[in-house]
Structure 1
Amino acid sequence: MLLKELSNANGISGFEDEVRDLIKSNIPSYRTDILGNLISSKEGKGLKVMLAAHMDEVGLIVRDIDDDGYVLFKKAGGIDDRVLMAKRVVIGKNKIDGVIGSKPVHLLKKEDLKKVVEYNKLYIDIGSENKKETEKLVKIGDPIYFATKFKENGYNFIGKALDDRVGCSIILDMLKKDFSFSLYGAFTVQEEVGLRGARVVAHDIDPDVCIVLEGTFASDTPDIKEELQIPKFGEGPAVTIADRTVICDPKLVKFFEDTAEKNNIPYQIKRPFTGGTDAGAIHLTKRGIPSGVIALPSRYIHSPASIGNKEDYKNMKNLIYRILERIESEKGDFYGH
């Protein structure tokens, strides 16, 4: 399962090399730009359709090493401090093993037990005895990744970086299909720190339409009110109407919905104005690019481990294919072109 390999690959923002190399090994032709975006295309006639997914994942980066050899870090991307304590990580190209540590619970004051430990009070223990020993293995600026391995679990799968290796894996599948229009697969960098790669790649390709493939949160957990449990796990891919970075083109949203309904593909609408995606940068490029977002709802994204649903993944892949198939059949009539 290619998704397994993609999930297991390491690539925080700005350090996407391992993910990029894996994707390169699964496509016949490609090019990269200055920022590191990876672009693969199948040239055709008429429309230029771009599928976009980001390669980077949330993680950490080394900011300092203290005198006792502990590694101090900053966050790369949006991570809740609550999910960091006692997690296994690997550091740098040599994947030095470590554990995120904090003061033992036995030594905490009663009032401290009710507080979340802020990340700048945590540290990574790699088992070295002093700063000099750590500096032989780790340097400031090294990327830090969660040491989570992908696993299939019945109807579901568990792994890190489902946001957005899910999108990358589906684009790779779509690039194996043949269409008469020009299809571009854009694997972007630095989405998690400001949609940076998407700005460059959209300006480069200048597509007629863009579909962003994403991983989003599933909110049907016990600590969320039922009326706010949108999207839900196991009820199909989520179509975005609006998030904090984009109001998706209404005609494109309707096109997605109609395609799903005509093909009996379950889908749901993502809760408006939550999160952000590469579409936020892409839709503002040049004269404006009609952009839409379809995402896999996953529990616990932006953490060391997320859970995805196999049926949701299958239905998302099918919906993307049916959308491209419909663009093919409607040719110039698609989206008023």
Structure 2
Amino acid sequence: MLLKRLTEARGVSGNEKEVREIIINEIKDYVDDIHIDRIGNIIAYKKGEIDTPRLMIAAHMDEVGLMITKIEDSGLLKFTCVGGIDQRVLVSKPVLVGNKKVNGVIGSKPIHMQKKTEWKKALDYKELYIDIGASSKEEAEKLVTVGEYASFLSDYVEFGDNLVKAKALDDRVGCNILIDLLKTNRKLSIYGVFTVMEEIGLVGAGPAAYNIEPDIGIILEGTTCSDVPGLEEHLQATELGKGPAISIMDRTTIFNKDLRKMIIDIAKKNDIPYQLRRTTFGGNDSGKIHLAKQGAITATISVPCRYIHSPISVMSKSDYDNAKRLLNLFIDNLEKGGFNNEF
């Protein structure tokens, strides 16, 4: 299964090679051109019968993770976080470290040795370490070097009522949807872009959009789902199983209202469940895409994911399927000339 391979692949921001190779192998026989730019974005072009509007569809390849910053004399590894990670979830998690994929576990001072005041707060990553079983610095240095990445070790598992748990659903769900789209025949030419380093500041999207100069940018994302006890409804960004989420605004973009209305109207007409992303925190690649050259209008179609930016996220397969269906119907509408932008 493609989503299993994508989520289990290692692709911490700046180290997307493993994910990139899977994607290239999947799409190479279905697109007219594949260009890897200087920072590692995949820009795939699938030529159709019509070229306007110029459409760019983006999904980011990278995931949150860790980077090794020091090897202690004891052989334990110090690290820093790459991307936004809730540090409370780090302790005891298994990881794969470095190019050799060394097994390790994130450890801390035992609770028996902690002061009572320490029990009341989350341990900062500076108080944690990765144990790879080495007994000395010299032994550890044979396996790992400073500057190498560590990724969470987490298997893809289907469970419960049509649910999936895996790491990196943000944004391998978007990558999978975009791959499947590029394998279909469309009348409208499409630029399918798999971006790098979204999790550390939307790094890849800007250069890619500058190259393409899109009229319209659609961002496929795995987004925050917070339908959990103890959180007021208005703070619940999305809910699992209620359909793909359409963004109104976030910290980097106020999304185009006409484009959003078109997508919502398509969902209503075709009985596709959808929801509006109720919160405005965070951002995605739209923040750079809509600023490129003369600018582009953008919209985001997201798959809600619980426990995002952690070793294990959870999504509903029905939300995934409906996001994919909505995207395809949106492109059908563009091909019929069904979009009129009014500023």
The 5 A counterparts of 1:68-87 are: 68-87=74-93
SS of residue paired to 1:196: coil
1:125 and 2:131 matched:
yes
Partner of 2:153: 147
Q: What CA RMSD, in Å, does the superposition of the two structures yield over aligned residues?
A: 1.2
The 5 A counterparts of 1:266-285 are: 266-285=273-292
Deviation at 1:334, TM superposition (A): 4.9
Offset from partner CA, 1:26-48 (integer Å, 9 cap, x none):
01242200010001111132312
Offset from partner CA, 1:191-232 (integer Å, 9 cap, x none):
000101000100111111110000101111013113322311
Could you tell me the TM-score, scaled by structure 1's length?
Answer: 0.97
Deviation at 1:280, TM superposition (A): 0.4
Could you tell me the TM-score, scaled by structure 2's length?
Answer: 0.95
SS of residue paired to 1:46: strand
1:10 and 2:10 matched:
yes
Paired with 1:104 and 1:122, the residues of 2 have a C-alpha distance of: 11
The 5 A counterparts of 1:21-40 are: 21-27=21-27, 28=29, 29=31, 30-40=34-44
Residues paired across the two proteins, number = 335
1:106 and 2:106 matched:
no
1:57 and 2:84 matched:
no
Which amino acid in structure 1 is aligned with residue 316 of structure 2?
N
Q: Which runs of 4+ in 1 moved over 3 A?
A: 333-336
Paired with 1:181 and 1:158, the residues of 2 have a C-alpha distance of: 34
Offset from partner CA, 1:56-112 (integer Å, 9 cap, x none):
000000101111111000110000110100100001121000000001111112221
Paired with 1:202 and 1:226, the residues of 2 have a C-alpha distance of: 36
Paired with 1:37 and 1:227, the residues of 2 have a C-alpha distance of: 36
Candidates 29, 47, 51, aligned match of 1:46: 51
- Check conservation: 2:58, 2:219, Cα contact below 8 A: yes
Which amino acid in structure 1 is aligned with residue 108 of structure 2?
S
- Check conservation: 1:166, 1:296, Cα contact below 8 A: yes
Paired with 1:75 and 1:227, the residues of 2 have a C-alpha distance of: 30
- Check conservation: 1:62, 1:74, Cα contact below 8 A: yes
Paired with 2:39 and 2:94, the residues of 1 have a C-alpha distance of: 30
Partner of 1:95: 101
- Check conservation: 1:327, 1:334, Cα contact below 8 A: no
1:296 and 2:303 matched:
yes
Deviation at 1:129, TM superposition (A): 0.3
**Which 5+ residue runs of structure 2 have no aligned equivalent?**
none
Paired with 1:223 and 1:4, the residues of 2 have a C-alpha distance of: 32
- Check conservation: 1:265, 1:315, Cα contact below 8 A: yes
SS of residue paired to 2:242: coil
